[in-house]
Structure 1
Amino acid sequence: MTSTEPLLLAIDFGTQSVRAILFDPHGHEHATSAVAIKEPDAPQPGYAEQDADYLWDALCSACQGVWQEPSYKSRVAAVALATMRASMVPVDANGTALRPVIAWPDQRRTRGVPPVGGLQGLGLRLAGVADTVAYFQAEAEANWLATHEPDNWRRTARYLMLSGYFVRRLTGEFRDSSAAQVGYVPFDFRQRRWARSSSWKWRALPWLNPDLLPELVHPGQTIGPVNAIAAAATGIPQDTPLIAAAGDKACEVLGTGAIEGDVACLSYGTAATVNVVSTRYVEPIPLVPPYPAALPDAWNLEIQISRGFWLVSWFKSEFGQPETERAAQIGVAPEVLMDDLLHKSVPGAMGLLAQPYWSPGLRSPGPEARGAIVGFSAVHTRADIYRALLEGVMYALREGKERIERRASCRIDRLHVAGGGSRGDSVMQLTADIFGLPAARPHTSETSALGAAIIAAVGAGIYPDFRQAVAAMTRTGDVFDPQPNTSELYQALYSETYLPLYSRLKPIYRRMRTLTGFRP
Structure 2
Amino acid sequence: MSQEQTNLNSDGMTEFVAAIDTGTTSTRCILFDKFGTPTLMHQVEYPQHYPYPGWHEQDPLDLLESVYIVMDCIADKMEAAGITFDAVKAFGITNQRETTLVWDRHTGQPLYNAIVWDDSRTNTMIKELSGDEGPDILKDKTGMPLTTYFSGLKLKWLVEHVDDVRIAMEEDRLCFGTIDSWYLYNLTGGPGKGFHYIDISNASRTLLFNLQTCDWDQSLLDFFGLKASILPQIKSSSEVYGNIDHGPFIGVPISGMLGDQQAALVGQKCIRAGEAKNTYGTGAFLLFNTGEEVKYSKNGLISTVAYKAGPDYPTHFALEGSVSVAGAAITWLRDNMELIDSASEIGELAAQVHDTGGVYFVTAFGGLFAPYWDSAATGTLIGMTGYTTKAHVARATLEAACFQTRAILEAMNADSGVNIHILRVDGGMTNSDLAMQIQSDILGVEVERPTMRESTALGSAIMAGSALKLWGWDVTKPETLDLVNTAGNVFFAPHDDAKLRQRVYRLWNRAVERASRWNTIDFVQEEVETELQNKLTIKHENGDEKKEQKSKH
**Pick from 283, 294, 298: which aligns with 2:307?**
294
Q: Aligned partners of 1:134, 1:16: CA distance in 2, in Å?
A: 25
CA apart distance, 1:71: 3.0
Q: Which moved more, 1:282-291 or 1:245-254?
A: 282-291
**Pick from 360, 363, 367: which aligns with 2:367?**
360
SS of the aligned residue for 2:394 comes to helix
Instruction: Report 1:153-302 matches (<5 A).
Output: 153-155=166-168, 156-171=173-188, 172-195=194-217, 197=218, 199=219, 201-206=220-225, 208-227=226-245, 231-232=246-247, 235-236=248-249, 238-279=250-291, 280-284=293-297, 289-294=302-307, 296=309, 297-302=315-320
Task: Please tell me whether the aligned partners of residues 103 and 174 of structure 2 are also in contact (alpha carbons under 8 angstroms).
Answer: yes
Question: TM (normalized to structure 1)?
Answer: 0.86
**Match status 1:351 vs 2:358:** yes
Change (3 A) 1:107 1:263: same
Question: C-alpha offsets along residues 277-328 of structure 1, whole Å, 9 cap, x if unaligned?
Answer: 111212345686422113543223111111122111111224445x41xxxx
SS of the aligned residue for 1:298 comes to strand
SS of the aligned residue for 1:169 comes to helix
**Match status 1:312 vs 2:324:** no
Q: Which residue of the partner structure matches residue 32 of structure 1?
A: 41
**Pick from 449, 471, 482: which aligns with 2:457?**
449
**Match status 1:492 vs 2:502:** yes
Q: Aligned partners of 1:351, 1:284: CA distance in 2, in Å?
A: 33
Q: Aligned partners of 1:114, 1:357: CA distance in 2, in Å?
A: 20
Q: Aligned partners of 1:319, 1:91: CA distance in 2, in Å?
A: 36
Q: Which residue of the partner structure matches residue 387 of structure 1?
A: 395
Q: Which residue of the partner structure matches residue 433 of structure 2?
A: 425
Q: Aligned partners of 2:260, 2:305: CA distance in 1, in Å?
A: 12
Question: C-alpha offsets along residues 445-481 of structure 1, whole Å, 9 cap, x if unaligned?
Answer: 2111111111111011123521235433223634233
**Cα RMSD for the two superposed structures:** 2.9
Q: Aligned partners of 1:151, 1:114: CA distance in 2, in Å?
A: 26
Change (3 A) 1:127 1:33: closer
SS of the aligned residue for 1:299 comes to strand
Q: Aligned partners of 1:515, 1:97: CA distance in 2, in Å?
A: 32
Change (3 A) 1:318 1:50: closer
CA apart distance, 1:260: 4.2
Query: Percent identity at matched positions?
Result: 20
CA apart distance, 1:182: 4.8
Question: TM (normalized to structure 2)?
Answer: 0.81
Task: Please tell me whether the aligned partners of residues 434 and 490 of structure 1 are also in contact (alpha carbons under 8 angstroms).
Answer: no
**Match status 1:468 vs 2:479:** yes
SS of the aligned residue for 1:351 comes to coil
Count of aligned positions: 487
For 1:189, the aligned partner's letter is L
Q: Which residue of the partner structure matches residue 550 of structure 2?
A: none
Task: Please tell me whether the aligned partners of residues 152 and 207 of structure 2 are also in contact (alpha carbons under 8 angstroms).
Answer: no
| Structure 2, gaps ≥5 residues long | 140-144, 189-193, 310-314, 529-553
Q: Aligned partners of 1:131, 1:454: CA distance in 2, in Å?
A: 33
Q: Aligned partners of 1:430, 1:412: CA distance in 2, in Å?
A: 17
Q: Aligned partners of 1:518, 1:152: CA distance in 2, in Å?
A: 24
Change (3 A) 1:496 1:111: closer
Q: Which residue of the partner structure matches residue 541 of structure 2?
A: none
Q: Aligned partners of 1:27, 1:261: CA distance in 2, in Å?
A: 22
| Structure 1, gaps ≥5 residues long | 325-333
Change (3 A) 1:262 1:411: farther
**Match status 1:22 vs 2:31:** yes
CA apart distance, 1:239: 2.1
Q: Aligned partners of 2:238, 2:118: CA distance in 1, in Å?
A: 29
